[in-house]
Structure 1
Amino acid sequence: METIIAIERAVLSSILYAPSIYEEVAAILSPKDFLYPTHKNVFEVMRECDALNLPLDAQIILQRSQGKVREDEIVEIASADSIANVEAYAKEIKESALKRELQELAMLLREKSLDSHSSAQEIMEVIEKRVSDIALGNTSGKGFIDAPTLAKETMQYLIDLKERGNEILTGVTTGFHELNEITTGFNSGDLIIIGARPSMGKTAFMLSIAQSILNADVGVAIFSLEMPALQLMIRLLSSLSSISMQNLRRGNLNDNELEQLSMYTDMMIHKKLFIDDGSVLNIAQLRSKLRKLKRQHPSVGIAMIDYLQLMVGDRNQGKQIEISDISRGLKTLARELEMPIIALSQLNRELERRDDKHPTLSDLRDSGAIEQDADMILFLYRDDVYKKRADRERKARLEKEGKAADFKAEYVERDVEPAELIVAKNRNGETRTIKLQFRKRFTRFENPETTQQEEQHDTKLDVDEIKSIISPY
């Protein structure tokens, strides 16, 4: 303890000796990081003087401390030996402060665990919030990058791109050709929002992307707050094997389909897919889980969340502020972990009242902050969903009026439906609407040319064909 107090005194003495280093220290420390109360008060006054453009000298600090600092104390600080590597010592003070906070947290945990009135869940929430607060308080930023360093790094980045042969992708593949062209893939640090109204296929689209990324040997982490992991895997296997979801759910499989399914299951066993289907998730938990997963499996290159509005924030602030905090937290986490994060999002139901039901940025539910934080915002739209719904409503109305015989369906059921992917925001590229196809039986989104090829060739491969396309492991 005496050692850290001596270091604090030396750092403050160095500032008095060379006030220009204050900014360097202030980028690392705040007053609460000092152990000795007098040192805390002195640094608080230094911060106040700096804000008011006042000199950082002993006399001014003594005058503005309003009795919190005695003359003998400021003399003791001023007479201490100054140090050369102030930044290193400031970081040592910060490290000591963080350890004290963790010690206090350990004491709080012990105290709460002995309190019979506190549930285990309440204790965990309190501890998680404190850990998150400590972690955020420790984020001091990377600091400035000077022009020579940045210019060299940028030039090397561009040379690397050229040597790769003008590739379309600089990030992980989206699985859709036209989307890859205008986005260069999902890039490190990107927050991608995929929004749609219910029944449009948000989860199916997310899994279609995940499937393409897994095929590129990149690991995928999925946080499913709505659907159990088993159901997600059934959807993936249906999409991979082209065996209908309905048959899979009923177990209505012939021997060939069962063997196909077994082959694709073996293929999935070797993929780096990780699904967390816990029903409660906040930013602190997400950060902790992803950090641990990345340490254990460095190949994980993207995280997906289904869906954003089910994440938990500070509910005392109101839903809009809660979602804003979550959105900001996701963007910060994407940059911190240097990986793209995809979050599915609900859209406001008011768009259902419009004649043109194509989503726009103003339809994002609960917060305009989502639009601000996201690097990319994609909307899914399938007109057939509304046509089918209109038929159902018209049929119900006619039956209620006793005119069921007058009903004639306008919607024609079809296995492959047209779909639109609206790129509404693309921070680093153009926006446009991309035409896709949705193959309903397998809940799979496809490039249009893929659908045309499959119409010319039976999509159900026999076992020998499957063996020929699956790489041996």
Structure 2
Amino acid sequence: MADPIALVPAAAAAEPRLPRNVEAEAALLGALMLDNRLAEEQLGKLRADHFFEPLHGRIYAAIVNLVDRNMIANPVTLRPMLEHDEGLRELGGAGYLAQLTGSAASVIGARDFARQVYDLALLRELVRVGRDMVASALDTSVKIDPEGAVEAAEVALYEVMEGESADGGVRSFDSAAKVALAGISRAQNAGGSLSGVTTGLTGINQKVGGLHRSDLVILAGRPGMGKTSLATNIAYNAASRWVLDNKDGIDDAKNMGARTAFFSLEMSADQLATRVLAEQSGISSESLRTGRINHQDFDNLSRAARELQDLPLFIDDTAGLSIAALRTRARRMKKRHNIGLIIIDYLQLLQGTSKAGDNRVQEISEISRGLKTLAKELDVPVLALSQLSRAVESREDKRPQLSDLRESGSIEQDADMVWFVFREDYYEMAKEPKMEDEAAYQAWQERMERITGRAELLVSKQRHGATGKVFMHFDSRITKFTDLANDGFDTGLE
């Protein structure tokens, strides 16, 4: 049998030795030809480019080709496919294929050989990424962008790490069913209403079962409806529930809360913090901003601040993020803080990779697909806020519809759930008649009394269940949504 070490290219010998085991590659190929069932196991896991020796990669590709066509792969059947291969011809042609099958003992260690070939390929890829990082850092002939270089390096390293998934994304029904049963068990233990991360609002939890892992949820509404307020409420509720369950000794798999990452592309981190402090202290955001608070208010504020200091809520207020940069930062937070929920405010402020002048709808479609991919990649729910088009304002009934999603592209298609927040009192306020028209003014006042503080969450798409409506109470003074008390109105679900 030809010495596999002799297959190493001269160019490779001159450079620092890359991780490789050519003998293991040769033994694996021999085992695959002796027992084609082993080759079937490797389909989708091992690729031709994982072999250090290019000839071995070509032989492996030919074996896979035959096995994939339900044909026998052995030196005889492989010969026509490789007879014109110069590399194989230099080593004796089909005779080299026969030599690879010379040791039946290689079948016993085939799985170990395959794993080693794969692991060494990952190490070589890591070396390549490292070299690219060094070359990029040393090249000052182009625009100097250290932050961009760091983000690109993180993406490259994450791709190497993700490539380690030995199952290639394929899971048995048994493993998938176990995950499904775990979710059902969570819902049962939560009283039959919650299988995902809690929103902190009973009406929403009962309607959708919480925020489910790998789901993309779109929360949309016109300006002034309270999208950001509802998002911050959910962020706080999820993070605080995680703290409570953690203190009670509940492990992460059964924890109904989540460590939360909030990407705020519109508001600064301190503005968001002010909102959360207002919600939890009961002091209006306006009073906090202007400093018009008394000693009692300050005591309440201090208490709220103490309670929030250990809240696992991480805010990134970097403006103008691209979808690629956001995904990089989210991965980083996942590794550092084990986040279980991502919130983005808001989708249209993200940037795609499309070149200037490209269709904006296509760019938004790229962003929505990127967010769905992120949800699946990190296995966490992603709640993304979205603007609505002005078409809502031209209708008599201002309740949003799926067609109102601004620059929608594939937003509706990519989303697992689409929620619209709607407050009728916001629009009714603009219809205030003149006080001189006493009858009209009195009728308006009576209507305002009935609807003030009453909000609706319209669940217009839900892969997991039915669509419908959830009623909530909204306190505009502290920008807080809560469950609607039973005051004679329908309390929530349709």
TM over 0.5, shorter chain: yes
Aligned to 1:310: 349
Aligned to 2:216: 191
Distance 2:274 2:472 in 1: 23
**Contact conserved, 1:382 with 1:419, CA < 8 A, in 2?**
yes
Distance 1:381 1:153 in 2: 35
What is the 5 A alignment of 1:20-419? 20-65=37-82, 67-68=84-85, 69-70=88-89, 71=93, 72-79=95-102, 82-118=106-142, 119-120=144-145, 121-124=147-150, 126-131=152-157, 133-135=159-161, 137-139=163-165, 140-141=167-168, 143-145=170-172, 147=174, 164=189, 166-216=191-241, 217=243, 218=257, 219-282=259-322, 285-286=325-326, 289-298=329-338, 300-316=339-355, 319-387=360-428, 416-419=452-455
**Contact conserved, 1:168 with 1:184, CA < 8 A, in 2?**
yes
Q: 1:67 to 1:363 in 2, by over 3 A?
A: farther
Distance 1:304 1:380 in 2: 16
Does structure 1 residue 424 correspond to structure 2 residue 479? Answer: no
User: Is there any run of 5+ residues in structure 1 with no aligned partner, and where?
Assistant: 396-407, 453-473
Q: 1:106 to 1:319 in 2, by over 3 A?
A: farther
Relative to the length of structure 1, the TM-score reads 0.79
Describe the SS at the equivalent of 2:225. Answer: coil
Aligned AA (2:73):
L
Cα deviation 1:291-331 (Å, max 9, x = unaligned) = 55455545x43221212333344324854454444434433
Cα deviation 1:235-266 (Å, max 9, x = unaligned) = 11111122122221212222222222112111
Describe the SS at the equivalent of 1:315. Answer: coil
Describe the SS at the equivalent of 1:187. Answer: coil
**Contact conserved, 2:216 with 2:382, CA < 8 A, in 1?**
yes
Q: 1:123 to 1:165 in 2, by over 3 A?
A: closer
Q: 1:211 to 1:12 in 2, by over 3 A?
A: same
Distance 1:57 1:425 in 2: 53
Aligned AA (2:375):
A
Q: Which runs of 4 or more aligned residues in structure 1 lie more than 6 Å from their structure 2 counterparts after TM superposition? A: 149-157, 408-415
Distance 2:42 2:62 in 1: 14
Aligned AA (1:6):
E
Cα deviation 1:14-50 (Å, max 9, x = unaligned) = 2211112222112211222111110111222234334
Aligned to 1:8: 25
Cα deviation 1:132-161 (Å, max 9, x = unaligned) = 5545544444533255x6667766776676
**Contact conserved, 2:456 with 2:472, CA < 8 A, in 1?**
yes
Describe the SS at the equivalent of 2:279. Answer: helix
Q: 1:179 to 1:107 in 2, by over 3 A?
A: same
Q: 1:172 to 1:449 in 2, by over 3 A?
A: same
Describe the SS at the equivalent of 2:26. Answer: helix
Describe the SS at the equivalent of 2:107. Answer: coil
**Contact conserved, 2:20 with 2:117, CA < 8 A, in 1?**
no
Describe the SS at the equivalent of 2:418. Answer: strand
Aligned AA (1:421):
L
More displaced, 70-79 or 231-240?
Answer: 70-79
Identity of matched residues, %: 33
Describe the SS at the equivalent of 1:442. Answer: coil
**Contact conserved, 2:24 with 2:113, CA < 8 A, in 1?**
yes
Q: 1:258 to 1:272 in 2, by over 3 A?
A: same
Cα deviation 1:149-187 (Å, max 9, x = unaligned) = 66677667766765x374422222212222111222223
Choose the corresponding residue for 1:435, options 471, 474, 477. Answer: 471
Question: Paired residues, what number?
Answer: 435
Distance 2:368 2:40 in 1: 31
Quote the offset at 1:92 in angstroms: 2.3
Aligned AA (1:375):
D
Distance 1:129 1:168 in 2: 38
**Contact conserved, 1:190 with 1:339, CA < 8 A, in 2?**
yes
**Contact conserved, 1:174 with 1:185, CA < 8 A, in 2?**
yes
Distance 1:159 1:230 in 2: 39
User: Is there any run of 5+ residues in structure 2 with no aligned partner, and where?
Assistant: 1-17, 244-256, 435-440, 489-494
Q: 1:29 to 1:257 in 2, by over 3 A?
A: same
Q: 1:21 to 1:318 in 2, by over 3 A?
A: farther
What is the 5 A alignment of 1:456-467? none
Distance 1:446 1:410 in 2: 27
Relative to the length of structure 2, the TM-score reads 0.76
**Contact conserved, 1:360 with 1:424, CA < 8 A, in 2?**
yes
Q: 1:280 to 1:165 in 2, by over 3 A?
A: closer
Distance 1:132 1:8 in 2: 26
